[in-house]
């Protein structure tokens, strides 16, 4: 089984988890940790969650910022068997992974999903700047 641990600064991880619950339904395969919002020690909380994942399960860790403190903590566990660390998480990436990979996932599949999500990002500008709100309905 694939387990997902989302950890981020502030309440971002919980927000992504909440979005996943709304879009996909609640899942016990996804856990979120909001770092630095209370007295809990981020390093201990992340370690505890990682250690709770079974050795035969695949763990996909998702962090918010490359090089950030949360990502640095998770990097200590990146060499764990059946473990992947992805940084720069987005809701689109989380939805794609969680909805597509529940039983197993490979590095190649993860890289493909990251590439697809990169392509989704865009700067959106209205074609006609005179558009009114009514035009969207």
Spatial distance between the Cα atoms of 50 and 44, rounded to a whole number of angstroms: 10
Q: Does domain 2-107 correspond to CATH entry 3.40.50.510?
A: yes
Domain boundary assignment for the chain:
2-107
pLDDT tens-digit series, residues 34-73? 999 999 999 999 999 999 999 999 999 999 999 999 999 9
pTM exceeds cut of 0.85: yes
Question: Is residue 21 helix, strand or coil?
Answer: helix
């Amino acid at each position: 089984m694939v387990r997902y641990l989302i950890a981020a600064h502030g309440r971002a991880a919980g927000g992504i988890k909440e979005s996943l619950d709304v879009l996909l339904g609640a899942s016990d395969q996804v856990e979120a940790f909001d770092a630095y919002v209370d007295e809990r020690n981020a390093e201990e909380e992340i370690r505890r969650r990682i250690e709770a994942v079974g050795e035969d399960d695949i763990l996909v860790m998702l962090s918010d910022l490359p090089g950030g403190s949360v990502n640095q903590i998770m990097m200590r566990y990146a060499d764990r068997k059946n473990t992947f660390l992805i940084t720069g998480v987005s809701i689109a990436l989380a939805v794609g992974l969680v909805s597509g990979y529940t039983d197993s996932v490979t590095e190649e599949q993860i890289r493909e999903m990251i590439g697809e999500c990169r392509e989704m990002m865009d700067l959106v500008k209205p074609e006609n700047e005179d558009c009114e709100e009514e035009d969207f309905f």
